[in-house]
Amino acid sequence: MGDFKYLDEGQGPVVMMLHGLFGALSNWEPTINALSGNYRVIVPVLPIYEMPLLSATIDGLRKYVENFVKAMNLTEFHLMGNSLGGHIALVYTVAHPEMIKSLILTGSSGLFENSMGGSFPKRGSLEYVKERVGYTFYDPKTASDDLVTEVFEITKSVSKCMAIVAIAKSAQRHNLAGDLYKIQVPTLLIWGLNDTITPPHVGHEFNRLISKSELYFVDKCCHAPMMEQPERFNYLLFRFLKKQ
């Protein structure tokens, strides 16, 4: 449909998922498989690497999601985001509270984040990329060869690296602490207890600032609970969605 790339599976109440800076549809695969029997799961591919530099910002990505929602003719839906995707979900919810039935955040930026452990991305070194991608998981072996290769290919492009840096800087500047009181929808926070990028104190701060939020930590888990501990993640998610 149009210029949008997305996955659309299942029938029922809509759950839309937003991936992170180096994310992809595959990040959500265990959750898509679990949900699509009872929900309509929609996952847009965010145009992180194709955006003009002037648009490579949190607001630029929010506008993209707004256009996508309009093109898909969505009304009320559940919105879920990991890392940068959580940040965009928060900004969208603040701007369009009437559209959101509930909000699910996991390892979300928006308050504080370490940028992939430091000086990422670094071009031309597969071993460096493997180390940095592994840094986002409790068990570095979770970073499959396919995932490492995918990120490595991205970092070989100067234009893509520039877009990544621009969006990462925009995210760090775009602190939402003063806006989170506006979010009045039921909110589920699922956090890796071993998250090194958005550490546990960030989950606690989101829980404090979003009035209708509930926070759960997942042990032996870093920045992507839906990938590292999918059974626990999906259990918490299903339990929450059934209440909405």
Classify residue 73: in a domain, yes or no: yes
**Closest C-alpha among 120, 144, 105, 131 to residue 226:** 105
Domain contains 25:
yes
pLDDT at 172: 86
| Least confident window among 101-105, 123-127, 238-242 | 123-127
Number of domains in the chain: 1
Residue 119 pLDDT greater than 50, yes or no:
no
According to the model, what pLDDT value does residue 15 have? 98
Report the CATH number at residue 232: 3.40.50.1820
pLDDT in tens, 171-222: 888 899 999 999 999 999 999 999 999 999 999 999 999 999 999 999 999 9
Confirm whether 221 is domain-assigned.
yes
> Which pLDDT score is estimated for 236?
98
**In the chain, % of residues over pLDDT 70:** 95
Which has the closest alpha carbon to 69: 88, 87, 50, 83?
Answer: 88
- Mean pLDDT across 136-162: 83
Any domain includes 195: yes
Pull the structure tokens for residue 196. 């090194």
Is pLDDT above 90 for 153?
no
**What pLDDT score does 30 carry?**
95
CB 65 within 8 A of CB 86: no
**Most confidently modeled of 114-118, 154-158, 222-226?**
222-226
